[in-house]
């Protein structure tokens, strides 16, 4: 039967995403000088304040306030009228060292915690990602690009923004149209919301959403509550790891519950989720399936996965258990194996912290380097 499916995204200026970017900027700064560092960095942001905590074990030194202020500055919080800006906000440091009890298991190559992680891929977009999520990411990314690079088009834009896209599917599961689009953008004081409505339609929506998917029945909600002048951490507190569905697959796939940002790759919450996406994407790209979900689970201190499950949602002639057995026999899914295969002990993480961890080819887990391997399965 036909159905609707919705996903959302938030901009780099959203308070939760500020915290994700700070956490990953700290991680990158530490890994740049000491690739074997152990990092679990969390942030909290509110009016005029950002607090950085967690556990870090490293041989290097970082200037935490400078790192935090640079992230905030690059996002665009540079004016005192925002009630949260790079130069005046307080930066509190409550970082400790990693627990030695956790370190004992990780030092021997085991997983840093128990848990299950998911990877997903489908043929809806060229990125092999769900369409509703990719369109949502593109909408808020377009707002940020205009604000930073082409500000004369929409000079009133402020950093905070959200988008949501509802896609309609046919009985056969094919995308037929976009049913609804929601865009909410923070702005300077302005005389008329109609200006924002017209600009968002012209410069954002029409540039992002394929025209053949928009019809006379498509619904547009642009700043539906009216004014959106108060935003960012002054409008709502921010916290690392609070946008895990935005970060992954927009609700199209399950989620194990573990956030990514601020965690070094010995944390399987992050590295195994990246590895599972890598596998799922290569399976779909190899033509084994049109849709693939992979679950992998770990026990703390144990290197090999406790389980690995492949679901191709009825789109493959190869049983999922055959694919999962092939993976376990041919792909190293230990934490060290994943780290080495994807070269994860590098400062590559801040860029992941806005606009999704998946679907962007600059990341190693998005490379199609296992297609030939999976093409041998029959």
Query: pLDDT of 42-92, one tens digit each?
Result: 999 999 999 999 999 999 999 999 999 999 999 999 999 999 999 999 999
The pLDDT of 224-253, averaged and rounded, is 96
- CA separation for the pair 308, 272 (Å, rounded): 11
Backbone angles phi, psi at 73, to 5 degrees: -65, -45
Q: Which residue in this structure is represented by tokens 């959403």? A: 209
Query: pLDDT of 173-208, one tens digit each?
Result: 899 999 999 999 999 998 789 999 999 999 999 999
The proportion of the chain whose per-residue pLDDT surpasses 70, expressed as a percent, equals 97
Residues 6+ apart with CB under 8 A from 150: none
Query: pLDDT of 117-168, one tens digit each?
Result: 999 999 999 999 999 999 999 999 999 999 999 989 999 999 999 999 999 9
Give the confidence band of 105 by pLDDT, cuts at 50, 70, 90. low
The pLDDT, as a whole number, for residue 109 is: 73
pLDDT at 362 over 80: yes
Angle between helices 64-75 and 15-33 (to 10 degrees): 130
Burial of 191 (0-12, 13-18, 19+ CB in 10 A): exposed
Strand partners, 96: 55
Do 115 and 269 touch, CB atoms closer than 8 A?
Answer: yes
The pLDDT of 325-335, averaged and rounded, is 96
Give the confidence band of 100 by pLDDT, cuts at 50, 70, 90. low
Average pLDDT, the chain: 95
pLDDT at 107 over 80: no
Task: Decide: helix, strand or coil at residue 149.
Answer: helix
C-beta atoms surrounding 97 within 10 Å: 11
The pLDDT, as a whole number, for residue 48 is: 95
The pLDDT, as a whole number, for residue 5 is: 98
Give the confidence band of 97 by pLDDT, cuts at 50, 70, 90. confident
**Global confidence as pTM:** 0.95
The pLDDT, as a whole number, for residue 110 is: 79
The pLDDT, as a whole number, for residue 111 is: 85
The CB-based long-range contact list for 317-320 (8 Å cut-off, 24+ gap) reads 318/288, 318/289, 318/377, 318/378
The pLDDT, as a whole number, for residue 378 is: 73
């Amino acid at each position: 039967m036909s159905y609707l499916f919705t996903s959302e995204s938030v901009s780099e200026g959203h308070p939760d995403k500020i915290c994700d970017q700070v956490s990953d900027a700290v991680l990158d700064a530490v890994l740049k000088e000491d690739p074997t560092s152990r990092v679990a960095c969390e942030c909290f942001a509110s009016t005029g304040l950002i607090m950085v905590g967690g556990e870090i074990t490293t041989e290097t030194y970082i200037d935490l306030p400078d790192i935090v202020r640079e992230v905030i500055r690059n996002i665009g919080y540079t004016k005192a009228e925002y009630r949260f800006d790079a130069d005046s906000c307080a930066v509190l440091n409550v970082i400790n060292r990693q627990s030695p009890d956790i370190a004992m298991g990780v030092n021997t190559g085991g997983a840093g915690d128990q848990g299950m992680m998911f990877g997903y891929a489908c043929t809806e977009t060229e990125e092999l990602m769900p369409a509703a999520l990719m369109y949502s990411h593109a909408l808020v990314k377009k707002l940020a690009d205009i604000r930073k690079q082409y500000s004369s088009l929409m000079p009133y834009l402020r950093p905070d923004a959200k988008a949501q896209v509802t896609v309609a599917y046919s009985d056969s599961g094919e995308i037929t149209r976009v049913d609804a689009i929601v865009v909410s953008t923070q702005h300077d004081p302005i005389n008329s919301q109609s200006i924002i409505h017209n600009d968002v339609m012209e410069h954002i929506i029409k540039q992002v959403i394929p025209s053949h998917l928009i019809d006379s029945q498509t619904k547009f909600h642009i700043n539906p509550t009216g004014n959106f002048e108060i935003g960012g951490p002054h409008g709502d507190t921010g916290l690392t790891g609070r946008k895990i569905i935005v970060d992954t697959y927009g609700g199209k796939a399950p989620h194990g519950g573990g956030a990514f940002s601020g965690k070094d790759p010995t944390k399987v919450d992050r590295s195994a989720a990246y590895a599972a996406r890598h596998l799922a994407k290569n399976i779909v790209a190899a033509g084994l399936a049109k849709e693939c979900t992979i679950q992998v689970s770990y026990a703390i201190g144990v290197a090999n996965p406790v389980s690995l499950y492949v679901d191709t949602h009825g789109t493959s002639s190869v049983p999922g258990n055959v694919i999962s057995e092939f993976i376990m026999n041919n792909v190293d899914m230990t934490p060290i194996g994943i780290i080495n295969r994807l070269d994860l002990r590098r400062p590559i993480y801040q860029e992941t912290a806005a606009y999704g961890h998946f679907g962007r080819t600059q990341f190693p887990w998005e490379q199609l380097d296992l297609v030939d391997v999976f093409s041998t399965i029959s």
